[in-house]
A and B are shown apart, each in its own frame.
Chain A
Amino acid sequence: MNFPQFAFNNVRRNARAYVAYLLSSSFMVMIFFTYAVFVYHPKIANSEMGNMTRVGMSIATAIVYVFAFFFVMYSISVFLKSRNREFGILTILGAESRQINLLIFLENILIGAVAIVTGIAAGLILSKVFLLVSTKVIDLDDLPFYWPAKAILLTAGAFILLFLFISLFTLMFIRKRQVLDLLTGSSKPKKEPKANVFTFLLGIALLATGYWALHGKKLDELGLLIAAVTGIAGTYFFYSQLSVWIVKKLQRRRSAAWKGTNLLWISEMSYKLKDNARMLFLVTVVVALACMSTGFVLASQQAIRDSYMSNPFNFRYTTYSDGDQKKAEKDLAYIEKSLGAEGMEYRVAKVDLIPDNSYAAGKEKTVLISQSQFNHLASVMTIDPVEQLGQTESVLVQTPERERKYPPQGNNMDVRIADSTYAFRFVSRTEKVASLSYTGKLLVIQDEEFERLKREHQAWGDYIQNTTVYMAPDSGKFPGKEDPETKLGLELAEWNRSGDHGGFLQSRAENYYSFKQTFSLFSFIGVFIALIFSVSSASFLYFKLHTELSGDAVMYRSLSKIGLSSREMNVSATIQIAVLFFIPIAVATLQSLVVLGPVMEMMNSMSPVYVPVITASAAFLAVQTVYFLVVRARYIKAVDKTMV
């Protein structure tokens, strides 16, 4: 038997010990590969996506890789530790350290090769299944299966590098250990980590930098990148420092610590503090990403729905006073004919609008409408009309979304027409009709005043906006692909885009539908990332508990001899497992709230992000709870079996 044979047989005959390590490595390869299959999918790679999405996806790729690195690193260190005795015996038998190094190196390469091959094979099947399922679930044209040569190369390359690096790294790790240490194995406790003021401040500074990058100025790609790096690093320090601090505090409060099973789990946690902090950190990052991507998908869908709901006009045709009025009349006739042909019941109203000049003074535009036209519109829409107004009196109508964001201040506002400013006293109202103005801000003024301002406005060379709106009875539902409104909207939008027309037609159903179409691909990617990360966080925790199980079982067994009941063991173990599973969700929710707000704002969404984020994290909470119950049950069952 020569040495490589020995190494090979060692793996083959001791398969049970290697299987956990092999499985976890292979699992990480699979995750990374499946992700790569999507990123390099021709349809996704060639799609028109913003820079922001691209940066987001690269960040996710990097995190998957870093995650894989830590995961493999962690499993190999656990694995080698469990074999310390074996190395000790080999050393005593006279094996040179060179030979042991070679043994570990060969084993790692062997396991790495197997993991890469099996991981890619499993990934091929997984991505195929995922493509099949997802195209069914999501309203997506279809994402065909392809031969992912690029993804295979990337995965194989990345993981060969990773295994090589880790092999070399572990050699350094082993070399400095004494034979005695190896033989007595892991009975020596790890050094207790200490809370350190400097590291603590560093963590705070990092988190603050991340927060500033997100909220300080207008967010751009660089800001997002900075926030990702500092946020992740900050999270690590947050856990490593805060957990030390909390556990120490708990230990010092004897009235709480010396009660029931508290003593047991608190001390266990302080013992595993370093490992736990790392685990919490990794799981948090992963869950936060999953939460963010789901939250992003939900928030964007919400934004699309909101913009549909807030628009009370099924169709809207806009011309400007400097446009071709004849063509406009022809267009209107055509639109009405089309509506009639489709058999749609509709009401129609025409309004003249003055968009004021405020933007020249660096303020937001206000759109003016005359009282009589507003009241006509109000009667068509069956909303309250406006009472007779004085010359400087007005009614400020805002959309509900705008109202939420900018509640009106005071009761005076300035309007700028030509180069002079007019002050109006106002009372405010909230109506959807204000979406006539794209800023969501409509000011109703006295008819005579309106005519005067209109003349002045046009004399200055500015235009008046003539808008015709069509309203059909509201079905209260979102338009589907087959609805007549959608069909007509698509048709008319196409008609309006092609050829020479006097004005611009908007259909809210067409808007909604085409946004939804464009967005479905990203929903798909977002959900996919979330799914992958959620599964990997659970398997990560499972692996940790699995490796700790044998040690814990010995401890609980000896405690059961002196009278620890199964139920007490259950309580102690459940608390420890629950901390690992649920604290990351809480922190990840917080992080998602902080991150998604500015990201959505950058995407010009008016909708608040907390609803989608809470929804997403509630979903993860549910999923994580299922994982938790399964993992906990298995762990407790295994420990219970060893108790006497």
Chain B
Amino acid sequence: MSLPATSSDGFWSDTGKTGIASWIFSTDHKRIGLLYLYSVLGFFLVGVLLGVLLRLELMAPGRTIMGPQTYNATFTVHGVVMIFLFIIPSIPASFGNLVMPIQIGARDVAFPRLNLFSWWLYVIGAVIVLTALFTGGGPPDTGWTFYVPFSAKTGTNVSLAVLGVFVLGFSSILTGINFVTTIHRLRAEGMTWGRLPLFVWSLYATAWVQILATPIIAITLVLVFVERVVGTGLFDPSRGGDPIMFQHLFWIYSHPAVYIMILPAMGVISEIIPVFSRKPIFGYKMIAFSSLAIAAAGSVVWGHHMYTSGMSDTAILVFSFLTFIVAIPSAIKVFNWVSTLYKGSISLEAPMLFALSFVLLFSIGGLSGLVLGAAATDIHVHDTHFVVGHFHYVMFGGTGFAFFGALHYWLPKFYGRRYAEKPALVAWALMFVGFNIMYFTMQVLGIRGMPRRYYDYLPEFARLNLVATIGSWILVLGLIILLVNLFRGLFRGEAVGANPWGGATLEWSIPTPPPTENFEEDPVVTHGPYDFKGAGKP
């Protein structure tokens, strides 16, 4: 990693170690944040490549570029990489580490060495998952959900893959423990709970989900592993086991995991929108509270993934009802963001454009989620491309776009240089258009009955599939422009001062790039995070 031109400043230079060791053995939360950032970005690109290949295969009916077995492996690995290696650690582990300690006025997280260990576990887990692709019976072909009985029987290397995911889960747990303890214990003087930036609130809620839900997937994957190795029969009906219990355990984690993915993104949006509207956030308390409410409500709705599994009708009724409750805190957030915009002095710069498209795309994804949350309609579109379109709207249109917004919003602070605005706008426009062409078309295909996870389809779906594939090219073109412009700018772009956007949270009050210990003196906080009266115009 080459240093930026301003590398004589801040945390870039001030270190006891040299070279690569000053990074991979650093306990500085900012360096660990950047390690995470580059790791997750790398895996994101791997996931994108696999996604593009999937779309290419589906461009025309019949075999286009790969056969069925390769297709099964490709969508499995696309899912595993995107979920466990990119999106779960994406915003919390990278920007959470970079920004959160500064935002609460701390010099580092509560357990800096544990933080480094957590990154190493991430790397080890990633290596194990990647090893699983090339060893044993070949890459897993179960889908990222590892459903039994297939995952217990398939000859592909599921054993090693679940072991890797287990290690990744441990890494995620340690980050969660670190963040909760940090937010409880290391807030600066005057940084009361009511003055925490909303990004910190969202990370706090996320960290709780990481702590309480991740162990369940850990034990579930251990059981799959044990099942494959010694055959305990816990999920095998011929020996009294119940495969639906696997689905319960799996979704007890994996549904709350959806909120591990989206909550930090909502936090990013809650930071960007007030800054670029030059207006205090509307409904601070309700946004903070709704983060906790989403985490809590999100933990009791896992059954809505199982309407067609053979679960009891009573459970379907209860889980369907509970699912609608999640819509309330989610809508609270959306309405508060929109109210913040009202009569604001809005400046449409790149971070803001990503934030605004988040609100739109997340709303589309959320509303299509209601179609799936209602048992009556879900049964018709279950396991179709409607579901694929839905979760890409929420995960990519939501978390992905928030992640790009965060890249543009916060990275200049840490590099001391910024991207060029115009190419960023072009990149955003291409991505927004390509995204909608691709995933909206998928939802239409799903409604018309095209199932997911098949490498082939009926001829009547051919035209729309071609449209979706073309959308994927536009999206990827925009993504390439975005990344080239962003990183060119960070290393060679225009220099920025301490507070390029005029933000009022603590990270904008310290020099750019931040010094190793963040604050010369422990700060004393006297105003709220969105009190712009004190902050200068950009």
Task: Tell me whether A and B are bound partners.
Answer: no
Residues of A within 8 A of B (CB): none
